[in-house]
Amino acid sequence: MSSEDKESQEDELLALASIYDEDEFKRAQDVQGGETRISVDVPQNFRVYLSGNFTETLENSKLEYTVSFLPPVVLNFEFPADYPSTSPPLFTLTCKWLSQAQLTALCRHLDNLWEENRGSVVLFAWMQFLKEETLAYLNITSPFEPEITKQEKQPKEEDGCHDIKNSASTHRESSDTSTVEDIESLSILIKEILDFDQSQKEKNFNCKMFTCNICFSVKQGSECMDFKDCRHVYCKICLKNYFEIQIKDGQVHCLNCPEPECSSVAIPGQVKELVEEKLFALYDRLLLQSSLDLMADVVYCPRPSCQTPVMQDPSCTMGICSQCNYAFCTLCKMTYHGVSPCKVTAEKLADLRNEYLQADEATKRFLEQRYGKRVIQKALEEMESKKWLENNSKSCPCCATPIEKLNGCNRMRCTACMQYFCWLCMGVLSRINPYQHFSDPGSPCFNLLFQAMEIED
Spell out the residues 6+ positions from residue 432 whose beta carbon is closer than 8 angstroms to its own.
none
Average pLDDT over residues 25-47: 91
Q: Where are the domains of the chain?
A: 3-138, 218-294, 344-394, 396-456
Other beta carbons within 10 angstroms of residue 148's beta carbon come to 19
Average pLDDT over residues 109-127: 92
**Which CATH topology does 218-294 take?**
Herpes Virus-1 (3.30.40)
Say whether 436 sits in a helix, a strand or coil. helix
Q: Is the pTM here over 0.85, yes or no?
A: no
In the residue annotation, 409 being an active-site residue is answered as: yes
Q: What is the largest CA-CA distance in the chain?
A: 143
Percent of the chain with pLDDT over 70: 81
Tell me the C-alpha to C-alpha distance, in Å, between residue 293 and each of 105, 246, 308, 313: 58, 19, 12, 16
> Which of 142, 24, 167, 141 shows the shortest CA–CA distance to 86?
167
Which CATH number among 2.60.40.2220, 3.10.110.10, 1.10.10.60, 3.40.50.300 corresponds to the domain 3-138? 3.10.110.10
Tell me the C-alpha to C-alpha distance, in Å, between residue 181 and each of 29, 37, 190, 312: 24, 15, 15, 51
Specify which residues 132 forms β-bridges with.
none
Task: Tell me whether domains 3-138 and 218-294 share a fold.
Answer: no
pLDDT tens digits for range 239-249: 999 999 888 88
pLDDT tens digits for range 243-293: 998 888 888 777 889 888 888 888 888 889 998 988 888 888 887 777 666
Other beta carbons within 10 angstroms of residue 426's beta carbon come to 13
Other beta carbons within 10 angstroms of residue 133's beta carbon come to 14
Assess contact for 48 and 143: CB atoms under 8 A: yes
Between 175-184, 339-348, 363-372, 403-412, the lowest mean confidence (pLDDT) is in 175-184
Of 224, 409, 417, 425, catalytic: 409
Judged against a pLDDT cut of 70, whether residue 345 lies above it is answered with no
